[in-house]
Amino acid sequence: MRTRQLGNAPLDVPVVTLGGNVFGWTVTEGDSPRLLDAALDAGLNFIDTADLYSRWVPGHTGGESESIIGKWMRSTGKRNRVILATKVGMDMGDGKVGLSAAYIERAVEDSLRRLQTDRIDLYQSHQDDAATPLEETLAAYQRLIEKGKVRYIGASNYKGDRLREAMETSRRNHLPVYQTLQPHYNLMEREPYESDLAPVAAQYGLGVLPYFSLASGFLTGKYRTPADLQGHARGASVGRYLNERGLGVLAALDEVAASTNSNPARVALAWLIARSGITSAIASATRVEQLSDLTGAAGLTLDAGALEKLDRASAPVAV
């Protein structure tokens, strides 16, 4: 599995990250260990989750994914083989939200307990918190790093101006800097990352870890008509891509897949991995058989003609 350096941190990660949002949601707790074992054996040792996952499921309160991953690591003794990323800041209910120092210090203990570990390799601000001074948030992370509970920090769902402000706040106050950015970015969602966030990431050398790399499954090619959406957990989010542009992107993926003896999912991930500044594309799997698409994408190099075809088909529509 190819690896790249995680921003400016002395840590190499695979070019595909295993997304943990599915554990306890579309992958049951009983099925999760087999999938996690297979992923690790395939070289997918960078796992990204969040305290929020999967609070949106009826009857869940959040933390389900962390708990499943934690039980697996503890029962198998594989913690030292995993590069573990999680997040803080989204609304967990009962006032548990934001990036205040007090809340971060409480939330990290909850995550560590669920994950059954003494450290988090990459702890990420899940979203910006305009109500909390950036210096307060970053100082809280500094204390966690000094205690050995967190190794590196990252940001997700920030606007470009706020991300730049956070980086300058770190430098000005000699506080830890964000090493990574986790944006919503894929062939169907190229704005606002490319215009707003990519320049900031490049300026500060951030490692970029796009989420929804397969556009909630749309880029696998399995959703091509409204009928294909029936009965799927992500049907509502995928439906917005069933338009002229989306079908054009699928057609381009089909062409490139045919010419590379591959499939649309692998090609879509390979396109993302090939983009300037991208460190690792986050993608989930719900079955062991799907892991071959993630590992296959890591080994697929697209030529200039294929990249141009995909760039042209996915070009954002001018408003």
Give how far Cα 205 sits from Cα of 115, 136, 164, Å: 29, 23, 12
User: Got the DSSP string for 227-246?
Assistant: GGGTT-TTHHHHGGG-SHHH
Phi, psi of 196 (to 5 degrees): -105, -45
Helix residue ranges, H only, 207-303: 235-238, 244-259, 264-274, 291-298
User: Got the DSSP string for 123-187?
Assistant: EEESS--TTS-HHHHHHHHHHHHHTTSEEEEEEES--HHHHHHHHHHHHHHT---EEEEE-B-SS
Q: Which helix (H) or strand (E) holds 311?
A: helix 304-314
Residue appearing with tokens 């010419």: 259
278: three-class secondary structure by DSSP: strand
212: three-class secondary structure by DSSP: coil
Q: Answer whether the bond into residue 259 is a cis peptide, omega within 30°.
A: no
**Structure-token pair, residue 189:** 């969602």
Q: Is 53 an annotated catalytic residue?
A: yes
Give how far Cα 27 sits from Cα of 34, 63, 287, Å: 11, 14, 8
Residue 282 forms beta bridges with which residues? 17
Task: Report yes or no: 100 and 136 within 8 Å, Cβ to Cβ.
Answer: yes
Distance of CA 118 to the CA centre of its chain: 22
Task: Report yes or no: 274 and 147 within 8 Å, Cβ to Cβ.
Answer: no
Which residue out of 53, 193, 204, 211 is catalytically annotated? Answer: 53
Residues with catalytic function: 53
